[in-house]
Amino acid sequence: MTHATHYDDAINAYYDNYYRGKEEAIKKYEAYLKSLLIDDSNPYESKEEQSVIQGIEQRTAKLLGEIEEGQVTRTNHNGTSVRVDNPTSNKKINNDDL
């Protein structure tokens, strides 16, 4: 007959925590994937897009002076294409400037 030792208890605790952490990571990943699914009833198309548009996009636009307090950049996933000089620019360029 065998009996548990402190070593056995430590090994069991390690594996319990390892697999519990793995299960939590899988649940978080599945929730993330679910947030990417297109929802026809949501004008932003997905929870992920809504989070980005209502979060960092709004804060960035305010910091750059593109909108004022109380204004929003957009209320859906649609947008307007604007030609700019480079990927980090917010200055429009004309076709004549190409």
pTM of the predicted protein model: 0.51
Residues 75 and 87 in one domain: yes
pLDDT tens digits for range 9-43:
777 777 777 777 888 888 888 888 888 888 888 89
- List residues bridging with 41 in a β-sheet: none
Q: Which domain holds residue 27?
A: 1-36
Residues 91 and 79 in one domain: yes
Please tell me the distance from the alpha carbon of residue 43 to that of residue 45, in angstroms, as a whole number: 5
Q: Within this chain, do residues 51 and 88 fall inside the same structural domain, yes or no?
A: yes
Write the pLDDT tens digit of every residue in 63-81: 999 899 999 999 988 878 8
Q: Within this chain, do residues 9 and 51 fall inside the same structural domain, yes or no?
A: no
* Same-domain check for residues 79 and 96: yes
- 32 and 44 inside one domain: no
Label residues 49-79 b or e (16+ Cβ within 10 Å = b).
bbeebeeebbeebeeeeeeeeeeeeeeeeee
